[in-house]
Structure 1
Amino acid sequence: MSGHSKWHNIQAKKGKVDAKRGKIFTKIGKEIAVAVKNGGANLDSNARLRDVIAKAKAANMPNDNIQRAIKKAAGEADTVSYEDIVYEGYGPSGIAVIVETLTDNKNRTAGNVRHAFTKQGGNMGASGCVSFMFQKKGEIVIEKNDTLDEDELMMMALDTGAEDFASEDEVFVVTTTPEDFGSVREELEAQGIEFLEAEIKMIPDTYTAIDEETATKFQKMLDQLEDDDDVQNVYHNAEFPEGWEG
């Protein structure tokens, strides 16, 4: 089966992940706090918390950090007040962009996000202006290695309820509905499968090829957004030029 995630193409343009590791852990810590506030600290009864922890593990967040974040969130559950706000708009050359934020000050966040759009020739739009071009899906990314048989892994994924399975250059990508994501992920985890990434995200229906000049501008916009502490996730439909390194 084939997919259209272009995971490697987009993931490769997210900058030097190791250099941003601390910031990534901080963002995941906020997601843990919200999950604990909404559903409690008990993993057995809080599916959202289980999903966030899977995301944390895929990002190589140490278990001690994860447990500390859960305990901290449980102790501060009454004082945590982050608001989920999604912004939509267009990057340079009309690239569709969705920005998910968790914020305790929506005026600050809206101003920062708007600035990131306009600085590189884009513009923030109204709610719904680009989200119709995306579908919410669970995505599990598995690095290829000599011990993984593609056909066996595909059958395993589909048998657990996955919608699609794709083989890309260096990874396998398992796609699920948001509702089935948790059970598929847990089944694969139980089989000893390790993930490079495991989360529910917005996946574009089609991709827009961009040239190097646009790619340079857009990468600056992505960097500015991802450096913002209030921004949790950025999704887009840009297809970077082959071999482009930023």
Structure 2
Amino acid sequence: MSGHSKFANIKHKKEKNDAAKGKIFTIIGREIAVAVKEGGSDPANNSRLRDIIAKAKANNMPNDTIERGIKKAAGELGAVNYEYVTYEGYGPNGIAIIVDALTDNKNRTASNVRNAFTKGSGSIGTQGCVSYMFDQKGQIIIDKEECDMEADDLMMMALDAGAEDFSEEEDSFEILTSPDDFSTVRQALEEQGVPMASAEVTMIPQTYVALTDETALKQLNRTLDLLDEDDDVQAVYTNLEE
């Protein structure tokens, strides 16, 4: 484990999302549409859809909104044309950036992402130019204040379910899984009533890079803000030392 606490970042992201719920609900709505198209509308038989529903609930998406999204996607299977695209590039001082998007117009999305990099004095690179610096992992964050279990019991539960790693930090627990085992581990914890502040497959930097120059930091934040405002962008990963 890197020893870098992710929980403060999770809370910060949730605060931002609370101020812009339309963005996160749009993201999740598109993910629901693709999941239903690929695996059907029954969560019991669609593990991807189950994971997205859990993500929706963690972001305080109302149950009726989730259900409407599933029904809409099931009724419009032929009209769902979103596809996943990933962009890689560099921010100021060589900060690595990965952008995951879900779009119905790749030309529009590519132009917007390129514009976000350019305005922050960064540059788009080729596929694979920075992803080798990250590991794809299932990551589950548990707020200690919300969890009554002892650390050892929680660790054994997670490891028994197939988790790869468990770490305890000041205010949270972090559980890491392989992407393939994420759904199984998340569901096992959910069935035991373990509250999860965040549960998703994510990209975790192998090493972190500090950025101390204020101008460079402002430029990077410019890029990240523009990406955050783009409805096509699902997630952004960097190796910035928070």
Q: Is the structural similarity TM-score above 0.5?
A: yes
Equivalence for 2:47:
47
Q: Is the 8 A contact 2:133 2:206 kept in 1?
A: yes
What is the distance in 2 between the residues matched to 1:143 and 1:13? 14
Distance 2:3 2:33 in 1: 32
1:71-150 to 2 correspondence within 5 Å? 71-145=71-145, 147-150=148-151
Q: Distance in 2 between matches of 1:53 and 1:45?
A: 13
User: Alignment identity in percent?
Assistant: 56
Cα deviation for residue 17 of structure 1 reads: 2.5
Q: What root-mean-square deviation, in Å, do the aligned CA atoms of Structure 1 and Structure 2 show?
A: 1.6
CA deviation map 1:7-33 (0-9, x unaligned):
135435546231022210111000000
Given the two structures, how large is their TM-score scaled by the length of structure 2?
Answer: 0.93
Mean Cα deviation higher: 44-53 or 109-118: 44-53
Letter in 2 for 1:215: L
Match of 1:229 in 2: 231
Unaligned 5+ residue runs, structure 1?
241-246
Greater Cα shift, 45-54 or 224-233: 45-54
Structure 1 residues 72-100: Cα deviation after superposition (integer angstroms, max 9, x where no partner): 11011111101211000001111101000
- CA-CA distance at 1:212 after TM superposition: 5.6
State the partner residue of 2:16. Answer: 16
Once the two structures are superposed, residues 91-147 of structure 1 have per-residue CA deviations (whole angstroms, 9 ceiling, x without a partner) of 111110100011111111001000111111110100110011111110111111272
C-alpha contact 1:55 1:199 (8 A) present in aligned 2 = yes
Q: Distance in 2 between matches of 1:210 and 1:202?
A: 20
Establish whether residue 217 from structure 1 lines up as the match of residue 219 from structure 2. yes
The Cα of 1:216 is off from its aligned counterpart by 2.8
Report deviation, 1:4.
4.5
CA, structure 1 residues 110+174, in 2 after alignment: closer, same or farther (shift >3 Å)? same
Which structure shows the bigger proportion of residues in helix conformation?
2
In structure 1, C-alpha distance between the alignment counterparts of 2:63 and 2:212, rounded to whole Å: 41
Secondary structure in structure 2 of the residue aligned to 1:126: coil
Aligned residue in 2 for 1:243: none
Residue pair 2:140, 2:199 contacting (<8 A) in 1 also = yes
CA distance in 2, matches of 1:131, 1:199: 18
How far the C-alpha of 1:149 sits from its partner, in A, is 1.7
> Are the equivalent residues in 2 in contact too, given 1:8–1:169 (CA < 8 A)?
no
Answer yes or no: is the 8 Å Cα contact 1:138–1:178 preserved in 2. yes
Deviation readout 1:28-49 (Å, 9 max, x if unpaired): 0000000001111011221111
- Count the aligned residue pairs: 239
Structure 2 residue matching 1:238: 3-state secondary structure: coil
